[in-house]
Amino acid sequence: MSLFDWFADRRKTVPAVRNTQELDEGDGLWSKCPECGLVTYRKDLLANASVCKGCGYHHRIFSDERIAQIADPGSFAPLDDDLSPTDPLAFKDRRSYADRIRDTQRSTGLKDAVITGLCCVEGHPLALGVMDFRFMGGSMGSVVGEKLTRMIEIATERRLPVLIVCASGGARMQEGMLSLMQMAKISGALQRHREARLLYLPLLTHPTTGGVTASFAMLGDLILAEPKALIGFAGRRVIEQTLREKLPEGFQTAEYLRDHGFVDLIVARTKLRQTLAGLLQLHGCPQVQHA
């Protein structure tokens, strides 16, 4: 039996798991919280930043809703929204990478797994990058790295703070070493931004894993996270099998990382804009003066 056939057989034995978005969509009018079971009118849930009023569970949201929650209305101006991935390795498993890109672009309306742009948060100018888990698990390929690097370089030139909202399964395997290179490229741009004495804030959402965690997600001046977000490099099962010991309860949650010094502040989504504005003001980031 070939290695490919072995993996194919393993897939057949693993039950399919519906993602969070599928679980709580229902008929489109109502949403059931997967944490406490509270059924909420979808418009009320959206009005509360997609946070359950019963238990505080943060439903998964995507880039358009995230930008609307962070940026002042009408202030977001996208950068490099025409960049689209290619297939430099002619990668193919069960399907070609080129087909996966095309189908994912069609189903999500996105060119790749990150949207970057300039905006204001309560009048404070900000360079904002938002990763979107819908696009191949928010994986970091060449376009994600290029867009984030260009945004950081513009922020450095214009002396703007940077916020990157992380949501990713890690580096994109279909681009091989070209994907892994993005870790160093983004980190280099952030170092130049830091040398200019400018503020960088990563916001770690569920999930933030792999090469994203091993690079720009953990390089912030202050590292923010959403409640109960999964944050880590390798998966829990891989670590337990490698170390041959059981990991602590809550390991790799935002709360565990905060308690052990890897996360500075856990911010509820309903208070995010207010918190960001306060941090920007505290760090001397100017507000735009309107005529």
HEC readout, 16-66: CCCCHHHHHHCCCCEEECCCCCCEEEHHHHHHCCCECCCCCCECCCCHHHH
Candidates 88, 63, 58; CA nearest to 76 is 63
In this prediction, residue 290 carries a pLDDT of 55
Boundaries of CATH 3.90.226.10 in the chain?
A: 61-282
Check whether 2 has a pLDDT greater than 60.
Answer: no
In this prediction, residue 220 carries a pLDDT of 98
Check whether 12 has a pLDDT greater than 60.
Answer: no
In this prediction, residue 16 carries a pLDDT of 34
In this prediction, residue 10 carries a pLDDT of 40
Interval 226-254 mean pLDDT: 92
| Cα 111 from Cα 89, distance rounded (Å) | 19
**Contact in structure between 71 and 121 (CB atoms under 8 Å):** yes
Write down the pTM of the prediction: 0.88
| Cα 40 from Cα 52, distance rounded (Å) | 8
CA angle 127, 129, 130 (to 5 degrees): 145
Residue 208 DSSP SS3: strand
Check whether 84 has a pLDDT greater than 70.
Answer: yes
CA angle 209, 215, 218 (to 5 degrees): 80
Query: Right CATH number for 61-282 from 3.40.50.720, 1.10.287.3510, 2.60.120.260, 3.90.226.10?
Result: 3.90.226.10
Segment among 3-7, 26-30, 45-49, 92-96 with least mean pLDDT: 3-7
Interval 226-244 mean pLDDT: 92
- What digits encode the pLDDT tens for the residues 44-62? 999 999 999 999 999 999 9
